Amino acid sequence: MNLDNHIEKFQKKDIGAFETLYNMYAENICGAINVIVKDSERSQEICQDVFVKIWEKSDQYDPSKGRFFTWILNIARNAAIDEVRSKTYKNQKKNLPVHSLVDIFENSEDLNSKMDTIGLQTLLKGLKEKCILLIDLLYFKGYTQKEAAKELDTPVGTVKTRIRSCISKIRKNMA
């Protein structure tokens, strides 16, 4: 059975199909949260809440608005960003840290996040910091093209071509 079938069944509240989707994407969703939250235990809890939310919102997914993974990734990053905002606000009144993926890439000894930093470093090998930052903003923080351009202080028109070349480099690293 293919992905579209599982998604269709999941939207009809078929718990078995949902379990299949969970097994397919749990690591990715928990990973995306961990990039932002950087605390593996807390990320696991949020990740579980996110899947409950995905189930509750199952009828809201509209395939004409994008990929299923894009949709759940968006729910996950909103939850992760909410967590960091409320926490940093309480503790230090700081803004959302901007460089999460860059930080992880550079500080391999980050113990709390318990991730596969070697795997991550292999994937991101040879990428310029601006590239990693752009991936972080677009995929992990949900920045729009315009917001990402402002953050990186570059014309909006270059965001598209730049993300293309950044992702292509990772694809070469994967090969």
Partner 1 sequence: MSIDVKEYIASGTLELYVAGELSPEENLEVQHYAIQYPEIRKEIEEIEKTILEITKAASPDIPKDGFQKIRAEISNVIPFAPDRSVNKKVPLGNYLGWAASVILAIGLFWMYTENAKLKSEIELTNQEKQSIEDTLSDTQDRINIKENMLQQIRDKNVTVIALGGQTIAPTSYAKVYWNKEEQKVIIDAQGLPEPPTGFTYQVWSLKLDPLTPTSIGLLDEFRSQDSKLFALENTNESEAFGITLEPEGGSETPTLEQLYTLGAVGA
Which residues contribute to the site for partner 1 (CB under 8 A)?
A: 15, 19, 22-23, 26-32, 34-35, 40-41, 43-44, 47-48, 51-52, 55-56, 64-67, 69-71, 73-74, 104, 113-117, 119-120, 123-124, 135, 138-139, 142-145, 155-157, 159-164, 167, 170-171, 174
Q: Considering beta carbons, is residue 48 or 94 the nearer one to partner 1?
A: 48
Q: Considering beta carbons, is residue 87 or 120 the nearer one to partner 1?
A: 120
Q: Minimum Å distance from CB 44 to partner 1?
A: 6
Q: Minimum Å distance from CB 122 to partner 1?
A: 8
Annotate 43-112 with DSSP letters as a single string: HHHHHHHHHHHHHHTGGG--GGGS-HHHHHHHHHHHHHHHHHHHHHHHHT-PPPPS-HHHHHHH-TT--T
Strand, coil or helix: 155: coil
Taking the C-alpha atoms of residue 145 and residue 122, their distance in angstroms, rounded to an integer, is: 27
Residues in the chain: 175
Q: Minimum Å distance from CB 162 to partner 1?
A: 7
Q: What DSSP state is assigned to residue 1?
A: -
